């Protein structure tokens, strides 16, 4: 492998650090934000959640924006992802969604047969998700211009998996069964979701999101051949329109063998989980794309010296190559020590 280029001088652009990194421009330091950076590990968030249910919080733009704005100020991160969830997009498509206490999301009318796909409605009117766009606007209005706002959506495979399983799963057996035995119905469902995601992301951009991220949280359960056949065209549909407008981050977990296919499906930035070294992942993705990642969230439960060392090792592996955004390899877990999160961010910032 060729050695990475040396650190470049500070860029002259006045655009936010995060946007410049997404565009592979030289930056004065690596930008950092964290998936699930506003969450149960923060006492400020728990205080709000003691008074408000999760979906009520997501559907109350003033509170959702307040949570993320306070988190950005507390942590000192370089970007704010809107406070929302992957699944509210499924409600106007006809899925009966509930966030059950202690159980996570539950869909009470899952799609289990080819005939069930017909009752999943085409989402042509995004106004029913206006609370999300209001959250984007309120978050943007409450932050300094140097902090870009990230919109997001679930990827078609992950959203279809929730529809079919009725919640999360370890093996995704119902999803794979429908996919393998009723391929036409699978593609109908995935394409319907992909079109909805595309419209949803564009609406978030129109509301003020300067970056969008697509989360394929469960696609790692597939082989590369299955990804190419059943997933890639739908992910490409979901991402394409947004990618013409703003930087797009395409993030998947669980199977580094999918990285070349994620690139093919789209994304100016490819998110990398912790199951592969970041420099190796970047070589696979190609250095003409930016990458995001990839500290194991479990490292944040170690002592602070370990957090600093493991964070620095990732930074050292990049060796100043433009286009790296520091993040975890997945979201912050509940009960993560806040002081370790702050140590990670301080290390990236060099303070």
CA distance 40 to 74: 14
Give the closest residue to 72 by CA, choosing from 139, 135, 22, 151.
139
Which letter, b or e, does each residue of 138-154 get, where b requires 16 or more Cβ atoms within 10 Å of its Cβ? bbbebbeeebbbbbbbb
* CA–CA separation, 157 and 285 (whole Å): 21
**What amino acid positions are annotated as catalytic residues?**
36, 40, 49, 85, 162
How, if at all, do strands 269-271 and 290-295 pair?
A: parallel
What CA–CA distance (Å, rounded) separates 18 from 220? 27
Residue in the block written with tokens 């998110």 = 271
Q: Are 209 and 19 in contact (CB under 8 A)?
A: no
Geometric angle at alpha carbon 330, from 325 and 335, rounded to 5°:
115
Place of tokens 């279809």: 160
Tell me the three state secondary structure of residue 230: helix
Alpha carbon distance 60, 132 (integer Å): 9
Sign of the CA dihedral with 328 first, then 342, 300, and 304 last:
positive
The alpha carbon of 159 is separated from its chain's Cα centroid by a whole number of angstroms, namely 13
Phi and psi at 104, nearest 5°, equal: 80, -165
178 is written with which tokens?
């429908």
Distances (CA, A) of 251 to 113, 172, 215, 235, 316: 29, 19, 5, 11, 22
Residue 347 to residue 330: CA distance in whole angstroms: 19
User: Quick check: 53 and 105 in contact, CB under 8 A?
Assistant: no
Residues in a beta bridge with 252:
216
């Amino acid at each position: 492998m060729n050695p990475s280029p040396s650190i470049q001088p500070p860029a002259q652009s006045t655009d936010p650090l995060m946007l410049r990194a997404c565009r592979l421009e030289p930056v004065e330091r690596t930008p950092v934000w964290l998936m699930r950076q506003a969450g149960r590990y923060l006492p400020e968030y728990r205080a709000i959640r003691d008074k408000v249910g999760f979906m009520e919080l997501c559907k109350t733009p003033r509170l959702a924006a307040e949570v993320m704005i306070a988190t950005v100020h507390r942590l000192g991160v370089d970007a704010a992802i809107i406070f929302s969830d992957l699944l509210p997009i499924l409600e106007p498509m006809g899925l009966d969604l509930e966030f059950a206490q202690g159980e996570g999301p539950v869909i009470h009318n899952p799609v289990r047969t080819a005939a069930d796909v017909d009752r999943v409605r085409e989402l042509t009117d995004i106004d029913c998700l206006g609370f999300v766009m209001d959250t984007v606007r309120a978050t943007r209005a409450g932050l300094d211009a140097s902090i870009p706002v990230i919109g997001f959506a679930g990827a078609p495979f992950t959203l279809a998996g929730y529809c079919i399983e009725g919640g999360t799963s370890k093996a995704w057996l119902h999803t794979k069964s429908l996919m393998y035995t009723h391929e036409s119905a699978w593609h109908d469902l995935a394409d319907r979701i992909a079109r909805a995601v595309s419209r949803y992301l564009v609406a978030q951009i129109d509301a003020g999101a300067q970056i969008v991220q697509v989360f394929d949280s469960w696609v790692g359960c597939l082989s590369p051949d299955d990804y190419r056949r059943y997933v890639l065209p739908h992910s490409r549909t979901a991402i394409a329109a947004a990618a013409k407008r703003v930087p797009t981050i395409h993030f998947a977990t669980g199977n580094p063998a999918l990285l070349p296919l994620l690139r093919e499906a789209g994304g100016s930035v490819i998110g990398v989980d912790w199951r592969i070294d970041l420099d190796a992942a970047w070589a696979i993705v190609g250095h003409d794309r930016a990458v995001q990642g990839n500290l194991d969230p479990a490292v944040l439960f170690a002592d602070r010296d370990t957090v600093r060392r493991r964070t620095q090792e990732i930074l050292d592996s990049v060796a100043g190559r433009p286009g790296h955004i520091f993040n975890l390899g997945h979201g912050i877990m509940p009960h993560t020590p806040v002081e370790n999160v702050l140590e990670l961010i301080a290390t990236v910032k060099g303070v």
